Amino acid sequence: MPYDPDNIFAKMLRGEIPCNKLYEDDDTLVFLDIMPRSDGHTLIITKEQAESLFEASPGGLAKLMAVVQTLAPKIRDAVGADGVLIAQFNGAAAGQTVFHLHVHIIPRKEGEPLRPEGAQRADQTVLAATAEKIRAKLAGD
Ligand code: 5GP
């Protein structure tokens, strides 16, 4: 399947659709998932037009994963979680629903189950407050 430049994340990169942005650099955009499986569920996307991990350049992938490595523990601490689930799906059969390479950072709290996948769109007020808390943590470090 060729890369679709009208996928939802491509639209975010072009600023056509809003997001709760946490971080951006030359190679990546980081924002909260609209249907969070836990508080602070974050998506890190590459600015490169890659449908999945397999189409990414090695350099682009390395930059993406470096951002994941740096931000994940800060996001975990910002929301008071104990651990972090990092997930990345390639292909519809694997659970990918948006065909632009992205990595999920899902903070986990001891004994707290994940919310069902795609079950509920979060309240924007709640998402905005979570984003503010995480941005403050990123700015403070
Ligand atoms: P995938 O299953 O492809 O790995 O994950 C795609 C993710 O994108 C899902 O967790 C879904 O909740 C999230 N998502 C889908 N549409 C939007 C949107 O419009 N805004 C944001 N912030 N996240 C979205």
Determine, yes or no, domain membership for 90: yes
- The ranges of the chain with pLDDT < 50 are none
Ligand 1 close to Cβ of residue 70 (< 6 A): no
Residue 3 lies in a domain: no
Q: β-strand 21-24 against 28-32: which pairing, if any?
A: antiparallel
Residue 16 domain-assigned (yes or no): yes
What CATH number is given to the structural domain containing 34? 3.30.428.10
Is 2 inside a domain boundary? no
Structural domain contains residue 35: yes
Structural domain tally of the chain? 1
Long-range contacts, 107-114 (Cβ 8 Å, 24+): 107/38, 107/39, 107/40, 107/41, 107/75, 107/76, 107/79, 107/81, 107/83, 108/38, 108/81, 108/82, 108/83, 108/84, 109/38, 109/80, 109/81, 109/82, 110/82, 110/83, 112/38, 114/37, 114/38, 114/85
Q: What pLDDT shows up at residue 141?
A: 66
Assess whether the C-beta atom of 23 lies below 6 angstroms from ligand 1: no
Classify residue 51: in a domain, yes or no. Answer: yes
> What range defines the domain where residue 57 resides?
8-138
Q: What residue spans of the chain are helical by DSSP H?
A: 8-13, 58-78, 124-140
Q: What is the pLDDT of residue 82?
A: 98
pLDDT at residue 50, rounded to an integer: 97
- Distance, in Å, from the CA atom of 76 to the CA atom of 134, rounded to the nearest integer, reads 9
Pocket of ligand 1 contains residue 79 by CB under 6 Å: no
Query: What's the gap in Å between 117 CA and the centre of ligand 1?
Result: 10
Q: How many CB atoms lie within 10 A of CB 88?
A: 17
Q: How far is the CA of 52 from the centre of ligand 1 (A)?
A: 14
CA-nearest residue for atom 18, ligand 1, is 34
**Cβ–ligand 1 contact at 19 (below 6 Å):** yes
Burial 52-71, CB ≥16 within 10 A → b, else e: bbebbeeebbebbeebbeeb
- pLDDT at 1 (0 to 100): 75
- The predicted structure's pLDDT at residue 118: 80
Q: Ligand 1 centre and the CA of 118: distance in Å?
A: 8
